[in-house]
Structure 1
Amino acid sequence: MTGRPDPESAPQSPAGVQRRHDPAVRGFASDNYAGVHPEVLAALAAANGGHQVAYGEDVYTEHLQEVFRGLFGPAAEAYPAFNGTGANNVALQALTERWGSVVCPATAHINTDECGAPERISGLKLLPVPTPDGKLTPELIDREAFGFDDEHRAQPQVVSITQTTELGTCYTPEEVKAVCDHAHDLGMAVHMDGARIANAAATLGVEPSRFTTEAGVDVLTFGGTKNGLLMGECVVVLDPSRVRGIPYLRKQSMQLASKMRFVSVQFEALLADGLWLRSATRANAMAKRLESAVRAVDGVTVTRPVQSNAVFATLPGEVIERLQKRFRFYTWDEAAHEVRWMCAFDTTEGDVDAFATAIAEEMHNYS
């Protein structure tokens, strides 16, 4: 792993614009905290200048279709969007009727972190299912997938899974296929929230089509913001027969970018030469390094399998408070004193080692 670029060698800011943060500061709260990957910034600059047709009729968005088809098969259709919440809502609306419902894990981002957008904006009903590891199984789906043709119940029409999950766990291709086969047997479609799909591909070591298209996923939201983009996610339709009205739903949901070339070219930079996988591999490796370091600290317990770029652990509440004054991170479960530490594409060994040292120091002071 190489170190990050020297901040002093970065391009100078335009006159009147000041750098208002210290680029050497690192946190472990979210991979969203990281900046834009230099290769993505370079792609944005390359796409700039001159005029291109707006609202997706540009040459970059046209080429993006070929890029995504190379990953997910010839039927794939890509619809760039601004953010993950918007992309998820467009995808779910395209898969459901107004009386439809979506079975999802209780920990799903659509259930816990989108301010009720799927229900308030999309007008559908979420049917959350508690899971031990953030993953659905056919048996867990059946806890809410019932009441078909019952006019008193919102009709279960979609199963939504997240790859990797909000608990940092990763579905295997076989697990995804089992979910999809069961959902399809029930007449339901399958949506995958792929906000961290790159981290899953890095963990599994297989082509992303193995746990999406080939496994039976119908619509995917492909994440970019957490993996080095300035902004942007992409709704990728894998089975066009399952959806309807995405162009209209994207516009109505305020996810249609007028200057879409600047969203599309970021994905081209991310995907064309494997940058997405290299960046995710680095983030995952840094999480493993952090896990190894904190397991050696008395009083710290790693609570979940580290299968992506997330480390979950418990430690005393007093230590959490002191540590958060030195490094930014979030408490996942206040009652259990469980925290979540996230690594990003630009996290270095030095960043991890400094954080692990701080954890050890605070635990020593506590004891």
Structure 2
Amino acid sequence: MLINSMYPKSFASDNHAGVHPAILEAIAAANHGDAPAYGDDSWTAAFDDKIKEVFGAEAEGFAVLNGAGANMVGLALMLGRYDAIICPDSAHIATHEAGAAERLLGVKLMTVQTEHGKLRPGDIEARLGGVGNPHESQPTVVSISQATELGTCYSPDEIAALAEAAHAAGLRLHVDGARLANAAAFFGCDLKTITTDAGVDVFSFGGTKNGALAAEAVVVLDSSLTGAVPFLRRQSLQLASKMRFISAQLSALLTDDLWRRNATHANQMATRLADGIVDLPSLSLTQPVESNAVFAALPPAVAETLRRRYQFHYWDESAGIVRWMTAFDTTPGHVDDFLDDIRKAATM
């Protein structure tokens, strides 16, 4: 699909949204005069301080360019040549990163079938049978997405239980936090509660899906790992020369709870959309709506009618399941117009 002006508001991805005005202001404010490259600037220093303020004194943040890169850098910190990652079969690293973990890190993914995309402590224990066996890859890291690829969210207690199970087995816990803000907004907690306080070792903090232009961060909570990050970030092509523009965005998101306001609004718009279709007999929700994603099963004719006007993706075309995403700039009017068209298509 080309030319956005042909379509109303996109429901395909929060990546389709523009940049929040406050983020643009932060970029513009950083765009004055010269500054040292590669993070030796005052904006990155301010971002470093903000990470410690939000996630705790032990946290170290490293700005990167995109989410897949954040995952590769964060995971590489914890993996050796013959190691493996335990993760849900729906995990982004397993389904939407073109085999980056296998190709770039050279590790095996031990995927687990899950309900609602959420790994359980028992899933970790079930994958430990080959520990110590030289014929098998060795599980070293547990990786989950927050929110999950199915839009569900791990509670602080669920994260803590996974961390406990991983640590008891000598493994570390990694969180792909592309939509970490949406999960924290859903539970009404701060970001530290579902990361630092829950026992996470390394996570990414997503900005791009929450109003930033191109800004993500790797956050390391295990101090024994931080020394390798600068080298891995450079080697992974994730070290930005003009880092001040990335750091400024991340600091803006972490200031005055902008991350929460953006994520809360996106979540509310998804709930509004889900509530608007519950009475339609030909449509059904396939996942709990806990973040800014709505997964629905609908007849092919309804989906195709809607796709002539709206952008959204099939999640499982054979089952008629689509994914509708909302963003910080989705308005009630956008949702209500979409609902009107869904009702028309469903009753044709």
After superposing on structure 2, the runs of 4+ consecutive aligned residues of structure 1 that deviate more than 6 Å are none
* Residues 23 and 284 (structure 1), Cα distance of their counterparts in 2 relative to 1, 3 Å cut: farther
RMSD value, Cα: 1.2
Q: 1:16 matched to which residue of 2?
A: none
Kept after mapping to 1: 8 A contact 2:7/2:311: no
* Residues 54 and 236 (structure 1), Cα distance of their counterparts in 2 relative to 1, 3 Å cut: same
1:14-53 equivalences in 2 (<5 Å) = 21-22=4-5, 25-53=8-36
Distance 2:147 2:298 in 1: 24
Distance 1:23 1:331 in 2: 20
Task: Report the 3-state secondary structure (helix = DSSP H, G, I; strand = E; otherwise coil) of the residue aligned with 2:111.
Answer: strand
Q: For 2:256, which of 273, 279, 283 is the aligned residue?
A: 273
Deviation at 1:240, TM superposition (A): 1.6
Q: 1:319 matched to which residue of 2?
A: 302
Q: 1:65 matched to which residue of 2?
A: 48
1:339-354 equivalences in 2 (<5 Å) = 339-354=322-337
CA deviation profile, 1:32-82 (whole Å, cap 9, x unmatched): 000011110011000002111100111111111111111110011111110
Are residues 1:241 and 2:224 paired? yes
Task: Report the 3-state secondary structure (helix = DSSP H, G, I; strand = E; otherwise coil) of the residue aligned with 1:202.
Answer: helix
Q: For 1:143, which of 126, 146, 149 is the aligned residue?
A: 126
Q: How many residues align?
A: 346
1:74-93 equivalences in 2 (<5 Å) = 74-93=57-76
Q: For 2:91, which of 103, 108, 112 is the aligned residue?
A: 108
Kept after mapping to 2: 8 A contact 1:105/1:161: yes
Distance 1:24 1:71 in 2: 38
Task: Report the 3-state secondary structure (helix = DSSP H, G, I; strand = E; otherwise coil) of the residue aligned with 1:307.
Answer: coil
Distance 1:86 1:287 in 2: 27
Deviation at 1:25, TM superposition (A): 3.0
Aligned amino acid, residue 335 of structure 2: V
Deviates more, 1:289-298 or 1:32-41: 289-298
Distance 1:34 1:73 in 2: 30
Aligned amino acid, residue 52 of structure 1: A
Q: 1:363 matched to which residue of 2?
A: 346
Report percent identity of matched pairs: 50
Task: Report the 3-state secondary structure (helix = DSSP H, G, I; strand = E; otherwise coil) of the residue aligned with 2:106.
Answer: coil
Q: For 2:270, which of 268, 271, 287 is the aligned residue?
A: 287
Aligned amino acid, residue 287 of structure 2: R
Task: Report the 3-state secondary structure (helix = DSSP H, G, I; strand = E; otherwise coil) of the residue aligned with 1:95.
Answer: coil
Distance 1:144 1:126 in 2: 11
Distance 1:21 1:30 in 2: 13
Kept after mapping to 2: 8 A contact 1:329/1:340: yes
* Residues 127 and 137 (structure 1), Cα distance of their counterparts in 2 relative to 1, 3 Å cut: same
Distance 1:113 1:297 in 2: 31
Deviation at 1:241, TM superposition (A): 2.1
Q: 2:210 matched to which residue of 1?
A: 227
Task: Report the 3-state secondary structure (helix = DSSP H, G, I; strand = E; otherwise coil) of the residue aligned with 1:91.
Answer: helix
Q: 1:10 matched to which residue of 2?
A: none
Kept after mapping to 1: 8 A contact 2:8/2:309: no
* Residues 23 and 49 (structure 1), Cα distance of their counterparts in 2 relative to 1, 3 Å cut: farther
Instruction: Return the TM-score normalized by structure 1.
Output: 0.92
Kept after mapping to 1: 8 A contact 2:7/2:310: no
Deviation at 1:148, TM superposition (A): 1.4
Kept after mapping to 2: 8 A contact 1:95/1:243: no
Distance 1:23 1:210 in 2: 42
Deviation at 1:24, TM superposition (A): 8.2
Q: What runs of 5+ residues in structure 1 fail to find an aligned partner?
A: 1-19
Deviation at 1:142, TM superposition (A): 2.1
Task: Report the 3-state secondary structure (helix = DSSP H, G, I; strand = E; otherwise coil) of the residue aligned with 1:294.
Answer: coil
Deviation at 1:244, TM superposition (A): 5.1
Distance 2:169 2:281 in 1: 48
Deviation at 1:228, TM superposition (A): 0.5
CA deviation profile, 1:204-246 (whole Å, cap 9, x unmatched): 0111111111110000100000000010110000122245511
Deviation at 1:21, TM superposition (A): 4.6
Deviates more, 1:137-146 or 1:345-354: 137-146
Deviation at 1:132, TM superposition (A): 1.0
Task: Report the 3-state secondary structure (helix = DSSP H, G, I; strand = E; otherwise coil) of the residue aligned with 1:311.
Answer: strand
CA deviation profile, 1:164-214 (whole Å, cap 9, x unmatched): 100111111110000000100000001000000110111001111111111
Deviation at 1:342, TM superposition (A): 0.4
Instruction: Return the TM-score normalized by structure 2.
Output: 0.97
Distance 1:202 1:214 in 2: 16
Distance 2:245 2:7 in 1: 27
Q: 1:55 matched to which residue of 2?
A: 38
Distance 1:173 1:272 in 2: 22
